[in-house]
C-alpha cells in the first residue's frame, strides 16, 4: 500500500508540473509584465527545482501541514476535511441503496430464471450499467426536481438533497451487483447441499435465503471491493452535476483553476481511500467466508 | 454457424453494425450540415424538419448526433485498441518471464488500479492538450491495467502447459513461443474485454467531454452535444435526452456483444 502511494505521488506530481498551462499566468494580470509573474512564482515557491518541490510536497504529506490553496489561500487540510463529510454521506447512502435494491432484484431474477421477471430485471440492470451517470442525473433532475418539484435541484441540505444524487450514483452499482448476485446465486443453487436442504423438506424461502444467498454473496463482496474506485469516480461526476460541495467537485474546480497543491493532495487522498476500501472488502470477504484467512 | 445462434451476439453485433454504418456514411445520412446555424430555428422542438429538435444556435441535433457517432466511436475504439495493445504486451511479458519483470509490471498494474477510474482520466485529459488524442490516451491509461492483469493470469497458467515445454525443447525462441503459442490461447478473453471496454470507453469519453476536458466544441461528440444542452435542460430537454439515449444504446450493444462472446468462448468464464 505504501509503495503504491509513493509511486502515485510521484506520478501525480510530475503529471501536474509538466502539464502545459502555468497557474501563475492565470493569477497575475498580464499587463503587469514578466517581472510581476516571476515575483509571484518565487512567492509560491514554483521557481525551485522540481525535485525540491517534490520533497517539500512529501514533507507536507508526512507532517500533515498541507499548506494553502494557490487561489483561495485556504488551508488545504481544512478544505478537504470540510468537504469530506458530504462525499462520505453521498457514497454511503448510494452504497446502501444499491445493496437494498440489487440483492432482492438479483435473488428474484435467479429464482425466476428464464422467465419474464428474470429478463426484465436483468434488462433494467444492464441499462443501469450502460447509462451515462451525468445524463441520468440530468434526467432525474428534470423530472423530479424541475417538473414535479419533489426534490431540490441541487446543493446540499437535508435528506431531500441527498435523494437524487444517491440514486444516480447507486444506479451503476445496483446494476452490477444485481447481475453478480443472480449469477452467483444460480451457481450456488446447482450445488449438492441445496439438493440436500430441499430433500430435508425445508421451506423454499429458507433454502433460497439461508443456504443459497448467504453463500452466493461472498463473490459479490469481493467484486464490490474492486469497484470502490468506480464509486469514488462516480461521486466526482455526481457532485459536479448536482453542485454538491464535496471532494469530487473540489477536484474538478481545482483542475480548472490549475490549483496544483489542492489537486495533488486530493488525488493522493482519493487513491488512499480506494486502497482502504479494497482492504476493507478483503476483510469483509474473510469474515463472510471463514475458509479464507489472510495471515 | 454457432456464433450466430447466440442472441446476445446477434443483438449486440447488430447495434454496433448500425452505428458503424452511421459513422462511415455520416455525410450521406445526415439531413443537414451539422454546423449550419439557423437562429430562427433556435431551440425548436423535435418535428418533421428537425427530427431530434435544434439547439440554441438552431443546429440540427439529429445531424450533430450522426457526426458525433464518428467522434465517439473513434475515441472509444482507439482507446480500447491502445489499451489492449499495451495491456496485452505487458501482461505477456509479466506472465511469461516472471521474476523482476513481473514484479515491476505488477506494481505498475497496482498503481493504475488504485486510481479511481474517472479521476485518472480527468487528470490526464485536463493536463494535456485538449482534443481527441488526449482523450484516447486518458481512457487507455485507465484500462490497460485490466488487460494486463487478466492476460498475466492467463499466461501464468498457460506457461506450465506441456505444449509450451515441448516448444522450448524444440528450440523455439521466447518471442516465437509468446506470439505463436501463448498469444492465440489467451485471445478469447482479450476479444471479450475489447468489446466490454469499448462500451465503457464510450461512457468515459462522454463524461470527459461533458466535464469540458475531452473533445472540444465545435467538434460534435455525443458528450459535447449533451453538455451544450445542459443549460437548456428545462426549456429544451431534447438536446440532452437524445444523445443520452444514443449513448446508452451504443454501450448496451458493446456489453451485449461482450457478454455473448464470453458465453460463446467459455460458458464457465464468469467474470473478467
Label each residue of A135-170 as H, E or C: HHHHHHHHHHHHHCCCCCCCCCCCCHHHHHHHHHHH
- The residue of chain B with its CA nearest to that of A22 is B127
Of B54, B102, B122, residue with least CA distance to A250: B122
Look at residue B270 and tell me whether its pLDDT is greater than 60: no
B253, exposed or middle or buried, with CB in 10 Å at 0-12, 13-18, 19+?
buried
B240 contacts A15? CB cut-off 8 A: no
Q: Are B161 and B240 in contact (CB under 8 A)?
A: no
- Determine, yes or no, domain membership for B178: yes
Cell numbers describing residue B151: 492476460
At residue B249, the pLDDT reads: 92
**CA atoms of A45 and B199, how far apart (whole Å):** 44
> Within 13 Å of residue A125, how many CA atoms lie on the same side as its CB?
29
Is the backbone of residue A45 left (phi > 0), alpha (psi -120 to 50) or beta? left
Look at residue B50 and tell me whether its pLDDT is greater than 90: no
Which domain, by its residues, includes B23? Answer: 2-30+50-271
Q: Are A18 and B128 in contact (CB under 8 A)?
A: no
For chain A, what is the radius of gyration of the CA atoms?
Answer: 24
N residues, chain A: 295
- The residue of chain A with its CA nearest to that of B200 is A130
Of A136, A282, A171, residue with least CA distance to A223: A282
Per mean pLDDT, which range of A200-209, A259-268, B79-88, B114-123 is the poorest? Answer: A200-209
- Determine, yes or no, domain membership for B37: no
**CA atoms of A233 and B114, how far apart (whole Å):** 12
**CA atoms of A98 and A169, how far apart (whole Å):** 9
- Determine, yes or no, domain membership for B40: no
Q: How many domains does chain B have?
A: 1
Query: Which 83-122 residues of chain A touch chain B by CB within 8 A?
Result: none
Cell numbers describing residue B119: 479521476
pLDDT range class, residue B1, cuts 50, 70, 90: low
Question: C-alpha angle with apex A140: A137 to A141, nearest 5 degrees?
Answer: 80
Interface contact B255, partner A, CB < 8 A: yes
**CA atoms of B251 and B229, how far apart (whole Å):** 21
- Determine, yes or no, domain membership for B193: yes
Interface contact A233, partner B, CB < 8 A: yes
Residue B233: its chain A contacts at CB < 8 A?
A: 138, 141-142, 146
- Which residues, 6 or more positions from A153, have their beta carbon under 8 angstroms from its beta carbon? A141, A145, A146
- Determine, yes or no, domain membership for B38: no
The whole-angstrom distance between residue B8's C-alpha and the CA centroid of its chain comes to 18
- Which residues, 6 or more positions from A237, have their beta carbon under 8 angstroms from its beta carbon? A133, A134, A137, A248, B118, B207, B211
Query: Which 119-158 residues of chain A touch chain B by CB within 8 A?
Result: 126-127, 129-136, 138-139, 141-142, 146
Interface contact B233, partner A, CB < 8 A: yes
CA distance A201 to chain B (A): 31
Look at residue B218 and tell me whether its pLDDT is greater than 90: no
CATH number at residue B9: 1.10.3720.10
At residue B86, the pLDDT reads: 92
Residue B237: its chain A contacts at CB < 8 A?
A: 142
* CATH 3.40.30.10 for domain A80-288: no
- Determine, yes or no, domain membership for B260: yes
Q: What are phi and psi of A48, to 5 degrees?
A: -75, 160
Q: What are phi and psi of B53, to 5 degrees?
A: 85, -175
**CA atoms of A180 and A184, how far apart (whole Å):** 6
Q: How many CB pairs under 8 A join A and B?
A: 132
| Residues paired with residue B60 on neighbouring β-strands, in sequence order | B54
Look at residue B82 and tell me whether its pLDDT is greater than 80: yes
For chain B, what is the radius of gyration of the CA atoms?
Answer: 22
Residue A274: its chain B contacts at CB < 8 A?
A: 114-116
Which tens digit of pLDDT belongs to each residue from B96-109?
A: 888 888 888 888 88
- Residue A68 is given by DSSP the state B
Cell numbers describing residue B63: 445531424
Of A162, A173, A295, residue with least CA distance to A232: A173
DSSP percent split of chain A into helix, strand, coil, nearest 5: 80, 0, 20
pLDDT tens per residue across all 295 residues of chain A:
677 788 888 888 877 777 666 666 666 666 777 777 777 777 777 777 777 778 877 777 777 777 777 777 778 888 888 888 888 888 888 888 988 998 888 888 888 887 888 888 888 888 888 899 888 988 888 888 777 878 777 767 777 788 888 898 998 888 888 888 888 888 887 778 877 877 887 777 777 777 778 777 877 777 777 777 778 888 888 988 888 888 888 888 888 877 877 888 888 888 888 888 878 877 877 776 666 655 4
**CA atoms of A89 and A124, how far apart (whole Å):** 26
Amino acid at each position: 500500500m505504501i509503495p503504491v502511494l509513493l509511486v502515485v505521488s510521484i506520478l501525480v506530481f510530475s503529471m501536474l508540473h509538466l502539464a502545459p498551462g502555468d497557474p501563475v499566468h492565470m493569477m497575475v494580470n498580464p499587463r503587469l509584465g514578466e517581472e510581476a509573474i516571476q515575483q509571484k512564482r518565487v512567492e509560491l515557491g514554483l521557481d525551485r527545482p522540481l525535485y525540491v518541490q517534490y520533497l517539500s510536497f512529501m514533507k507536507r504529506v508526512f507532517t500533515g501541514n498541507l499548506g494553502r490553496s494557490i487561489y483561495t489561500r485556504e488551508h488545504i487540510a481544512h478544505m478537504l476535511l470540510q468537504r469530506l463529510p458530504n462525499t462520505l454521506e453521498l457514497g454511503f447512502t448510494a452504497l446502501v441503496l444499491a445493496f437494498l435494491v440489487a440483492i432482492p432484484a438479483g435473488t428474484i431474477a435467479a429464482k425466476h430464471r428464464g422467465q419474464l421477471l428474470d429478463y426484465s430485471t436483468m434488462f433494467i440492470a444492464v441499462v443501469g450499467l450502460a447509462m451515462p451517470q451525468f445524463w441520468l442525473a440530468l434526467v432525474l433532475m428534470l423530472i423530479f426536481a424541475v417538473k414535479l418539484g419533489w426534490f431540490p435541484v441541487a446543493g446540499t441540505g437535508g435528506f431531500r438533497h441527498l435523494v437524487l444524487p444517491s440514486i444516480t450514483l447507486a444506479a451503476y452499482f445496483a446494476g452490477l451487483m444485481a447481475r453478480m448476485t443472480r449469477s452467483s446465486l444460480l451457481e450456488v443453487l446447482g450445488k449438492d447441499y441445496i439438493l440436500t436442504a430441499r430433500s430435508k423438506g425445508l421451506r423454499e424461502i429458507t433454502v433460497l435465503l439461508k443456504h443459497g444467498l448467504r453463500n452466493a454473496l461472498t463473490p459479490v463482496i469481493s467484486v464490490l471491493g474492486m469497484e470502490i474506485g468506480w464509486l469514488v469516480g462516480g461521486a466526482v461526476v455526481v457532485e459536479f452535476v448536482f453542485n454538491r460541495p464535496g471532494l469530487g467537485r473540489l477536484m474538478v474546480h481545482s483542475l480548472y483553476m490549475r490549483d496544483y497543491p489542492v489537486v495533488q493532495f486530493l488525488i493522493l487522498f482519493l487513491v488512499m481511500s480506494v486502497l482502504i476500501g479494497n482492504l476493507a472488502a478483503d476483510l469483509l470477504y474473510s469474515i463472510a467466508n471463514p475458509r479464507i484467512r489472510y495471515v | 454457424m454457432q456464433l450466430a445462434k447466440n442472441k446476445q451476439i446477434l443483438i449486440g453485433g447488430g447495434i454496433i453494425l448500425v452505428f458503424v454504418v452511421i459513422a462511415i456514411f455520416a455525410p450521406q445520412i445526415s439531413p443537414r450540415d451539422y454546423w449550419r446555424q439557423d437562429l430562427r430555428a433556435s431551440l425548436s422542438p423535435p418535428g418533421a424538419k428537425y427530427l431530434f429538435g435544434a439547439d440554441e444556435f438552431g443546429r440540427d441535433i439529429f445531424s450533430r448526433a450522426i457526426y458525433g457517432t464518428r467522434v465517439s466511436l473513434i475515441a472509444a475504439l482507439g482507446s480500447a485498441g491502445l489499451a489492449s495493445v499495451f495491456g496485452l504486451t505487458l501482461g505477456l511479458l509479466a506472465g511469461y518471464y516472471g521474476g523482476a519483470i513481473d514484479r515491476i509490471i505488477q506494481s505498475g498494474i497496482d498503481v493504475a488500479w488504485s486510481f479511481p477510474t474517472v479521476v485518472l482520466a480527468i487528470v490526464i485529459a485536463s493536463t494535456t492538450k485538449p482534443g481527441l488524442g488526449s482523450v484516447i490516451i486518458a481512457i487507455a491509461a485507465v484500462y490497460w491495467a485490466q488487460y494486463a492483469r487478466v492476460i498475466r493470469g492467463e499466461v501464468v497458467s498457460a506457461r506450465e502447459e506441456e505444449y509450451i515445454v515441448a516448444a522450448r525443447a524444440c528450440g523455439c525462441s521466447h518471442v516465437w513461443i509468446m506470439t505463436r503459442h501463448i498469444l492465440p490461447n489467451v485471445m478469447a478473453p482479450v476479444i471479450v474485454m475489447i468489446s466490454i471496454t469499448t462500451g465503457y470507453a464510450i461512457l468515459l469519453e462522454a463524461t470527459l467531454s461533458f466535464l469540458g476536458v475531452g473533445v472540444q466544441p465545435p467538434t460534435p461528440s455525443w458528450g459535447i452535444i449533451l453538455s451544450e444542452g445542459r443549460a437548456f435542460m428545462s426549456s429544451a430537454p431534447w438536446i440532452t435526452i437524445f444523445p443520452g439515449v444514443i449513448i446508452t444504446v451504443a454501450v448496451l450493444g458493446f456489453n451485449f456483444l461482450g457478454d455473448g462472446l464470453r458465453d460463446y468462448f467459455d460458458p464457465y468464464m464468469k467474470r473478467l
